[in-house]
A and B are shown apart, each in its own frame.
Chain A
Amino acid sequence: MSFAPIKSVTSRTVVLEQENIDTDQIIPARFLTTTSQSGLGQSAFYDWRFEEDGTPKGVDLFNSDQRADYRILVAGQNFGCGSSREHAPWALKGFGFDAVISSDIADIFTSNSLKNQFLPVVIDAPSHAYLLDNPGIELTIDLENQIVTTPNGGFQASFKVEPFARQCLLQGVDTLGHLMNQMDDIKAFEAQRGDAA
């Protein structure tokens, strides 16, 4: 299976400076009773955006009609902690975000994001602090060179994405095909254990 390759993301930032933004914040569990992975964008950060009766909680970038210009999230440390729900990157993508930048992003969330063309970008603490202090600036996340920059180059921070996941994103191929290609080795492993399928 293939998708459009991702070389870079250029957009303005939305800053959520809270630390430990867990997957229950990103998409509350009551929206997980779906059997689909589409349509979850409307539930992203639902309890931050809406009152209990569904009225919007005031105008901010979350509920603004300009949000298409703001596709990069900058969030506090330990973003995406908590549950393994892949609904979290599905919801963020569905809402219109393409990437999150933090000083620290949870393991399972990172793994899930990379499989859904949503970029988890971890940068050093001083660079992260700068981005937290400057909401709305334009950034380019260059996946090929693994660097985050402002248009004038005044800000630069490097990051690392797991090499295999990065190649998959750059080439627009998913990981299941790669695993399926190793079926002979998998069968040999089972046979060696006396456990052929």
Chain B
Amino acid sequence: MASETLFEKIWAKRLVTEETDASPGVLYIDLHLIHEVTSPQAFAVLKKRGLKVRRTDRTFGTLDHSTPTLPPDKNGALPFATKDAETQVKTLIANCEEHGIELAGLGDPRRGIVHVIGPELGLTQPGKTIVCGDSHTSTHGAFGAIAFGIGTTEVGHVLATQCVLQRKPKTMRVMFDGPLQPGVSAKDLALAMVAAVGADGGQGYSVEFAGEAVRGLSMEGRMTLCNMSIEAGARFGLVAPDDKTINWVKDRPYAPKGAAWDKAVAEWETLYTDDDATFDKEVRVDATKIQPMITFGVSPDAALPAEALTPAPKNEVEQHAADYMKFEAGRPFADMAVNKVFIGSCTNSRLSDLREAAEIFRGRHVYDGVVALVVPGSEAVRKAAEAEGLHDVFTNAGAQWREPGCSMCIAMNGDKGEPGDLVVSTSNRNFIGRQGQGVRTVLASPATAAASAIAGHIADPRKFMLEKAS
């Protein structure tokens, strides 16, 4: 048998119809995750054509983007940002009821950010094809799955047929040599990856992440890395499953049980790139050189170590970014005063992320005038964090502890920065206006975000970690 990459092995098994020059292949979808923002128009198309949802058993919904992160008022009413936001949430609830789709709705202990709850519930498994109307669906690739974001028309396709029309992407491998240094996190690795590949370097590719540093990451860390594949232009990012993956999935609510589990594990153990398989493109990164990273521009590939100096713009694009960000060439990033800090999003809102931030916050206080929000990725994360007392660590430090949701990553629910604010954010995009009109976003790890909240300016978290140790 010919040598294959991990991606090719999974892809081949899910093809209903092979692609030809004239038409794309028909790819079967094992799991379709839906949320309130990108699904209503797809359900409307189904209604117009008199179609049903074909496989409700392969479809699962949650509410995350437009939901408030502040608690209900004394009458139990949720403080939606707008009437439209509330209508959108109610529309998904109604659509799921009408079609018989399982929904982690308001008040459901399973609710949370779609890319947090899929893995948490064991819906996400190695070898699956997973889609969602959301570009960060690549997150699920951390389990060795083919997971990718689709548009709303395609959401309709999957609802109606459980398939999408796709051409096979090219393959790329990003190899991280050596281990990460102490105090360096998965987010730093992810930002270094985007900087190395470039904001559009992954276009047309599925990217496999490999090497010692990737094997060394926790499952949460691998999710953070795969999450940001799309920030390098790649719709697909994946990591071969190993014992960590299998142990993570085991006993979760939707994981296979008994004999079905043994059969699944036997199949998952075949999911790796053959030694002599070749990729269309290879990128190597020396993981031992990666330091805590931040972004200083308006594209996620504008990333450098937090301790570096602001580089001089090399062209008009960089000048435009520098003008917006108001970072002055030649000065340390640490000179930049911070107004808000956001810890959350599908990139960094899992329990390990909150622990990482809490280690910095513990026994310290948020700098005067800085507003810090900590938003857990799901109800389950919130519960686990509270059981460990992390919420007390955050609130004692002067940070706000919120209800689960996408929150300030996309600023659809009313959580946002004010014009001119510098926000250090553990989310995935530093696009102009993403966190509110005129807001300047600096992407960073949970530790760096927490350190910046304490210091009141962009800060490398390692000195806070050292202080702790001494």
Contacts and interface: CB of A to CB of B under 8 A. Distances in A.
A164 interface: yes
A176 interface: yes
A36 B200 contact: no
A7 to B, nearest CB: 19
B142 interface: no
A167 B163 CA distance: 20
Interface residues of A, number: 52
B47 to A, nearest CB: 12
A33 B87 CA distance: 8
B88 A35 contact: yes
B16 A35 contact: no
A112 interface: yes
Interface in A82-99: 82-86
Which secondary structure characterizes the binding site on chain B?
Answer: loop
A81 B235 contact: no
B323 to A, nearest CB: 12
A36 B41 contact: yes
B55 interface: yes
Interface string B53-64: 011000000000
A47 B437 contact: yes
A162 interface: yes
Contacts of A189: 16, 28
Contact of A106 (B161, B203, B429): B203
B3 to A, nearest CB: 25
B381 interface: no
Smallest CB-CB A-B distances: 10 pairs: A112-B151, A35-B40, A33-B84, A84-B149, A86-B151, A78-B200, A86-B152, A84-B135, A115-B153, A164-B23
Given A28-B437, A106-B200, 19 more contacts: A1-B49, A17-B316, A33-B84, A35-B41, A35-B87, A37-B41, A83-B149, A84-B150, A85-B151, A86-B133, A163-B23, A176-B161, A178-B165, A179-B161, A182-B17, A186-B28, A186-B161, A190-B28, A190-B162
A83 B74 CA distance: 36
Contact of A78 (B28, B150, B233): B233
B432 A82 contact: no
B410 interface: yes
A24 B432 contact: yes
A158 to B, nearest CB: 18
B412 A29 contact: yes
Interface string A20-35: 1010110011101111
Contacts of A164: 22-24, 165
Given A33-B88, A83-B135, A104-B203, A197 B24 contact: no
Interface in B140-180: 149-154, 156-157, 160-163, 165, 167
A175 B153 contact: yes
Interface string B19-40: 0011110101000000001101
Given A33-B84, A163-B21, A186-B26, A175 B165 contact: yes
B317 A76 contact: yes
A111 B88 contact: no
Interface string A47-84: 10000100000000000000000000000111001111
Contacts of B156: 176
